């Protein structure tokens, strides 16, 4: 059985017909070809699929697509605006915070949610905001630095 | 040396932008037109004969295209020993071994059909410890081992289930023990852990029904080696096989060899030309890809009163798991330097790689060095304690320096070890009382109220060889716009090779970095490279790209000579231009040189190949070689820890990591590699362990239960780059990727022993183990703690 579902992703509206048990992650990746949200575990442990639902970070693998038709969904593909990278993206490049990059979309989305709520987080707040996102390459420390550099560059 | 313009600079990564925008397409993201979806059935038995497989119901399931078993894929493979079937043949050897596979119109259908396959097994006795598996009388896990095709250097020896016996014989250890003032013997254990790259494993494969050509899309770290292995397995010439490498979301050694690839290829032979994608989920990645070798290590040393090492004997049992994969070479290259980076006149090492009925162990960042170091470096501290010597002083007395003859018969040069030792220990204020800021434990008040918190410091040293001899080839293309394309078979696994190699090409062609791009990796187009392993790429491929770029530059200068009306004048190249050395205004952009000579579509190509020619294999009887490794990597890491004696929890307060990289081609990337290695090492020290029960089942195949370090778990990390140049390396560079985690657990182990006064010989140092060690010390006054191996 399939049902009609309307999703609003990165400001665009998509009318889809999907099975009701499909997760937001699978629909983003397979129906919308938005593969920036990564699948590292599919059970909510790794955070690589983090997207924002009305500004709140969620694991897209734990959300049924059909249940979020009223939400604004923001994925990594929507983070840069009008061809201009988000300060977090700039800072991640500049500070060398990216290695294999597989966890990066999820981490950037978690951090975007943090900065939207709290533009000058403490180091501890940054760590806590990223605690649900696993990275196996970097040891996180260059990411912490990147957040520092992004928040100071945001004009505060 | 000429002034370097781009090499040595902390430039940002060339691949970072596509990764922060989500545009980067990884192997796990790849969708091919008309693709089918494959899933496998995995063995639920650790060791059993397959009596019967019934696939009839699965074949009837709507949407299923093919259902196959070992009978439909009658091939075996293996890098060093051809022991592993594409799908189980007649028997299964571990829980998680692929037994059958389905290709279907979508993944759900494939999975549903897999559940309909019935298999009847007859249990066989199983072994879960490498030491047990090779005891006399053990039944063989591979009955036909003798008939398998193997590398020439494999020495299985006479014990059951041993697929490699490495021997090192130097001097006479018995004599050394007799001459020693102190003889100390210990046993250490390192459990199975996993690479746990955040991208799980996947592979796509397609077989062209007309030409028989096999194409495989996989984020493999050694596509040319994988191609060779597939070619040998299928009996197909290498021209009929093509590997295309999508981007890899981390590997750390796990994405070498063939695992999911063989399932995809086997299915692709039954899909009438349609490509098949097989993706492992996280649980499947845990149980059915690769793990790091568990190791049981016996170490015995004879030492003089003044701390001089007289003799060392080591016996290492490496748990290979059910198939050999890279076990023979892990056993060889992990056992060889296991006695440590020290001058020791009498050394005897026996390394045994033994089959067990556990998941397959393979290459893992560090390639055997972390296990040896866990034993050796803690043993060194025990020696220091017995001699009442400062552990730094004990190391300095014995440590490798330039000109030393290593115990494997090689004269060493460019040894930066001592500098790493001094800098790493200084960084944590070695010799001074615990100097941590009290705030880290919750302030002075908290500290006063917590007499149960004990502070300690420790460190560990390592040296690591690289795969030798090996070859890297490269091409460098220059077009009429002055743009450079580098053809190199090094895989971007996250380590930053695309940036490093771009820097090398830019340096030699004197162009800005943004003029250089890396060609995608496709074995049809790209010249041969041995592998992206063993920290070999900066050195080997760096040399190859450098020479290819110089080749291209010389061709450009030759072409420019008539254009600049130069006769015997010397030409030079900088800022993307060729010019007369004495009249720099007589200059031509390199793109113009190409265009004027070859037209708008013209391309100038430089080529080169690099092999460390004098590298020699180890002698099979003595383990000796006078050039065993193209270069050696040296490192020391030091830790300050706080141990809560009430809970057994270890907290690392700060940790330094000093690595001799030869020359940092990109200091930013070097620091990133060191920090990442350190974080992985900390995980393996404190909590990582694949818990495998007495029936061979992995009990924690998820990130919920297998704990990676998170953003909350890490201490202040102090990466320190030491540059002791390697004359043969590009600009003096050695390698760096692997050693980052090698000394980490031993350094932390030494710090924990310093803190609580008890030596813990098994990893990981999780709260439970540390707590019981403290309890045992209190009850029995014992200063040693060892848990029994399964």
- Residue A154: per-residue pLDDT: 55
**What is the CATH classification number for the domain harbouring A122?**
1.10.150.120
In this structure, the answer to whether residues A60 and A101 fall within a common structural domain is: no
Mutate to test the interface with A, among B11, B20, B219 (most CBs of A within 10 A): B20
- pLDDT tens for each residue of B370-428: 999 999 999 999 999 999 999 999 999 999 999 999 999 999 999 999 999 999 999 99
For the beta carbon of residue B634, count every other beta carbon within 10 angstroms. 29
Q: Of A45, A78, A111, which marks where a domain is finished?
A: A78
- pLDDT tens for each residue of A74-131: 999 999 999 999 999 999 999 999 999 999 999 999 999 999 999 999 999 999 999 9
**H or E element, residue B168:** strand B162-170
- pLDDT tens for each residue of B665-711: 999 999 999 999 999 999 999 999 999 999 999 999 999 999 999 99
Instruction: Residue B709: list chain A partners with CB under 8 A.
Output: 139
Q: State whether the Cα torsion A100-B247-B81-B630 is positive or negative.
A: negative
Alpha helices (runs of H) in B249-311, residue ranges in sequence order: 260-268, 282-288
- State how far residue A93 is from chain B, nearest Cα, in angstroms: 6
Which CATH number does B294-467+619-785 carry? 3.30.365.10
Pick one of 3.30.300.90, 3.40.50.620, 3.30.365.10, 3.90.1170.50 as the CATH number of B31-124+199-249+255-288.
Answer: 3.90.1170.50
Nearest to A137 among B17, B22, B250 (CB): B250
How many Å separate Cα B146 from the centre of its chain?
A: 29
Flag whether residue B710 sits within 8 Å of chain A, measured between CB atoms. Answer: yes
Distance CA B642, CA B457 (A): 9
CB atoms B249 and A133 under 8 Å: no
Instruction: Residue B39: list chain A partners with CB under 8 A.
Output: none
- Residue B785: per-residue pLDDT: 63
Chains A–B, number of C-beta pairs less than 8 Å apart: 166
Q: Of A28, A52, A78, which marks where a domain is finished?
A: A78
- Scanning every residue of chain B, which has its alpha carbon at the shortest distance from the alpha carbon of A131? B711
Q: Of A78, A107, A126, which marks where a domain is finished?
A: A78
Instruction: Kindly tell me the burial class for residue B776, based on how many C-beta atoms sit within 10 Å of its own C-beta (0-12, 13-18, 19 or more).
Output: middle
CB atoms B250 and A138 under 8 Å: no
In this structure, the answer to whether residues A74 and A93 fall within a common structural domain is: no
- The strand ranges marked E within B328-452 are 346-355
For chain B positions 265-304, those within 8 Å of chain A (CB to CB) are 281-282
CB atoms A136 and B16 under 8 Å: no
Write down the domain spans for chain B.
16-23+470-611, 31-124+199-249+255-288, 294-467+619-785
pLDDT along chain B (790 residues), means of 10: 89 98 98 98 98 98 98 96 98 98 97 98 97 95 96 90 98 98 98 98 98 98 98 98 98 97 98 98 98 98 98 98 98 98 98 98 98 98 98 98 98 98 97 66 58 92 96 98 98 98 97 97 98 97 98 97 91 94 95 98 98 90 96 98 94 96 98 98 98 97 98 96 98 97 98 96 97 91 55
Flag whether residue B221 sits within 8 Å of chain A, measured between CB atoms. Answer: no
Mutate to test the interface with B, among A1, A35, A92, A137 (most CBs of B within 10 A): A137
Q: How many residues does chain A have?
A: 156
Distance CA B163, CA B178 (A): 33
Instruction: Residue A34: list chain B partners with CB under 8 A.
Output: 22
**Residue A120 lies in domain:** 87-153
In this structure, the answer to whether residues A19 and A61 fall within a common structural domain is: yes
Nearest-5° Cα angle at B177, B172 to B179: 95
C-beta separation of B587 from B577 below 8 A: yes
Q: Which residues contact residue B272 at a Cβ distance below 8 angstroms, ignoring those fewer than 6 apart?
A: B209
- Residue B1: per-residue pLDDT: 53
- State how far residue B196 is from chain A, nearest Cα, in angstroms: 7
In this structure, the answer to whether residues A91 and A69 fall within a common structural domain is: no
Distance CA B375, CA B617 (A): 26
- Residue B4: per-residue pLDDT: 95
- Residue B134: per-residue pLDDT: 95
CB atoms B250 and A38 under 8 Å: no
Distance CA B639, CA B131 (A): 32
CB atoms B282 and A40 under 8 Å: yes
C-beta separation of B634 from B732 below 8 A: no
Q: Which residues contact residue B136 at a Cβ distance below 8 angstroms, ignoring those fewer than 6 apart?
A: B159, B160
Instruction: Residue B704: list chain A partners with CB under 8 A.
Output: 43, 45
Number of domains composing chain A: 2
Give residue B482's region: left, alpha or beta (phi > 0; psi -120 to 50). Answer: left
In this structure, the answer to whether residues A107 and A46 fall within a common structural domain is: no
CB atoms B704 and A104 under 8 Å: no
In this structure, the answer to whether residues A12 and A74 fall within a common structural domain is: yes
**Topology agreement, domain B16-23+470-611 and domain B31-124+199-249+255-288:** no
- Residue A155: per-residue pLDDT: 41
The 10 Å CB-count burial string (b at 16+, else e) for B12-50 is: bbbbbbebbbbebebbbbbeeeebbbbbbbbbbbbbbeb
Please give the span between the terminal C-alpha atoms of chain B, in angstroms, as a whole number.
57
Provide ipTM, 2 decimals. Answer: 0.98
**What is the CATH classification number for the domain harbouring A19?**
3.10.20.30
CB atoms A100 and B199 under 8 Å: yes
Q: So what CATH class is B16-23+470-611?
A: alpha beta
- Scanning every residue of chain B, which has its alpha carbon at the shortest distance from the alpha carbon of A37? B22
- Residue A79: per-residue pLDDT: 98
């Amino acid at each position: 059985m399939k049902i009609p579902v309307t999703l609003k992703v990165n400001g665009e509206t998509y009318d889809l017909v999907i099975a009701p048990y499909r997760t937001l992650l699978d629909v983003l990746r397979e129906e919308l070809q938005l593969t920036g949200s990564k699948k590292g575990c599919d059970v909510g442990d790794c955070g690589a699929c983090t997207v924002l639902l009305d500004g709140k970070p969620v694991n897209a693998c734990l959300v049924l697509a059909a249940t979020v038709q009223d939400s604004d969904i923001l994925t990594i593909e929507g983070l840069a605006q009008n061809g201009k990278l988000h300060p977090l993206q700039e800072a991640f490049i500049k500070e060398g915070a990216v290695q294999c990059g597989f966890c990066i979309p999820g981490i950037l989305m978690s951090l975007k949610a943090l900065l939207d709520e709290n533009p000058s987080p403490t180091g501890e707040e940054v760590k806590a905001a990223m605690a649900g996102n696993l990275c196996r390459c970097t040891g996180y420390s260059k990411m912490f630095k990147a957040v520092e550099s992004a928040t100071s560059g945001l004009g505060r | 040396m000429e002034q370097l313009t781009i090499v040595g600079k902390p430039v940002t990564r060339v691949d970072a932008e596509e990764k922060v925008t989500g545009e980067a397409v990884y192997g796990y993201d790849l969708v091919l037109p008309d693709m089918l979806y494959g899933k496998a059935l995995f063995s639920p038995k650790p060791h059993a004969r397959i009596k019967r497989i019934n696939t009839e119901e699965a074949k009837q399931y709507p949407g299923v295209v093919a259902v196959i078993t070992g009978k439909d894929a009658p091939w075996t493979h293996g890098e060093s020993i051809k022991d592993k079937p594409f799908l189980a043949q007649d028997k299964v050897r571990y829980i998680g071994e692929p037994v059958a596979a389905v290709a279907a119109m979508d993944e759900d259908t494939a999975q549903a059909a897999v559940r309909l396959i019935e298999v009847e097994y007859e249990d066989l006795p199983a072994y879960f410890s490498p030491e047990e598996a090779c005891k006399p009388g053990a039944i063989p896990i591979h009955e036909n081992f003798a008939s398998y095709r193997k590398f020439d250097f494999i020495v299985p020896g006479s014990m059951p289930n041993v697929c490699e016996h490495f021997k090192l014989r130097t001097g006479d250890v018995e004599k050394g023990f007799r001459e020693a003032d102190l003889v100390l013997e210990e046993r250490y254990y390192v459990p199975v852990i996993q690479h746990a790259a955040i991208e799980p494993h996947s592979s796509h494969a397609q077989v062209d029904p007309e030409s028989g050509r096999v194409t495989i899309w996989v984020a493999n770290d050694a596509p040319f080696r994988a191609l060779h292995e597939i070619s040998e397995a299928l009996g197909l010439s290498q021209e009929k096989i093509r590997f295309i490498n999508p981007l890899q979301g981390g590997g750390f050694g796990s994405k070498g060899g063939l695992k999911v690839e063989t399932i995809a290829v086997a299915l692709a032979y039954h899909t009438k030309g349609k490509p098949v994608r097989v993706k492992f989920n996280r649980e499947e990645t845990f149980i059915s890809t690769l793990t790091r070798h568990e190791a049981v290590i016996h170490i015995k040393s004879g030492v003089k009163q003044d701390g001089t090492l007289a003799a060392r004997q080591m016996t290492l049992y490496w748990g290979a798991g059910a198939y050999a994969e890279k076990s023979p070479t892990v056993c060889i290259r992990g056992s060889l330097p296991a006695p440590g980076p020290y001058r020791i006149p009498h050394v005897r090492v026996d390394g045994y790689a033994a089959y067990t009925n556990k998941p397959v162990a393979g290459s893992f960042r560090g390639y055997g060095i972390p296990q040896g170091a866990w034993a050796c470096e803690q043993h060194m501290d025990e020696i220091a304690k017995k001699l009442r010597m400062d552990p730094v002083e004990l190391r300095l007395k014995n440590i490798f320096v330039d000109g030393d003859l290593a115990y494997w018969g090689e004269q060493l040069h460019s040894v930066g070890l001592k500098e790493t030792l001094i800098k790493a220990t200084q960084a944590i204020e070695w010799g001074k009382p615990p100097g941590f800021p009290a705030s880290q434990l919750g302030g002075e008040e908290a500290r006063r109220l917590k007499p149960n918190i004990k502070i300690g410091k420790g460190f560990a040293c390592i040296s690591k060889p690289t795969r030798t001899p090996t070859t890297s080839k490269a091409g460098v293309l220059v077009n009429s716009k002055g743009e450079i394309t580098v053809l190199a078979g090094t895989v971007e696994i996250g380590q930053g090779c695309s940036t490093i190699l771009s820097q090398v090409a830019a340096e030699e062609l004197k162009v800005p970095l943004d003029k250089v791009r890396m060609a995608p990796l496709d074995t049809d187009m790209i010249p041969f490279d041995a592998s992206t392993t063993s920290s070999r790429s900066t050195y080997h491929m760096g040399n190859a790209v450098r020479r290819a770029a110089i080749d291209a530059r010389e061709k450009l200068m030759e072409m420019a000579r008539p254009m600049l009306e130069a006769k015997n004048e010397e030409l030079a190249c900088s800022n993307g231009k060729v010019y007369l050395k004495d009249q720099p205004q007589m200059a031509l952009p390199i793109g113009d040189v190409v265009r004027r000579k070859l037209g708008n579509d013209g391309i100038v190509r430089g080529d080169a190949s690099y092999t460390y020619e004098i590298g020699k294999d180890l002698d099979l009887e003595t383990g000796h070689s006078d050039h065993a490794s193209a270069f050696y990597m040296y490192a020391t890491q030091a830790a300050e820890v706080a141990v809560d004696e009430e809970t057994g929890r270890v907290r690392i307060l700060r940790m330094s990591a000093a690595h001799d990289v030869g020359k940092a081609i990109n200091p930013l990337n070097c620091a990133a590699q060191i920090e990442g290695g350190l974080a992985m090492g900390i995980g393996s020290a404190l909590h990582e362990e694949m818990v495998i029960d007495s029936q061979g089942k992995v009990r924690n195949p998820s990130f919920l239960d297998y704990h990676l370090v998170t953003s909350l778990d890490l201490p202040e990390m102090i990466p320190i780059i030491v540059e002791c140049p390697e004359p043969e390396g590009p600009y003096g560079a050695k390698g760096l990727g692997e050693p980052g985690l090698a000394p980490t657990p031993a350094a932390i182990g030494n710090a924990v022993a310093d803190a609580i006064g008890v030596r813990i010989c098994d990893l990981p140092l999780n709260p439970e183990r540390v707590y019981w060690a403290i309890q045992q010390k209190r009850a029995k006054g014992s200063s040693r703690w060892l848990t029994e191996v399964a």
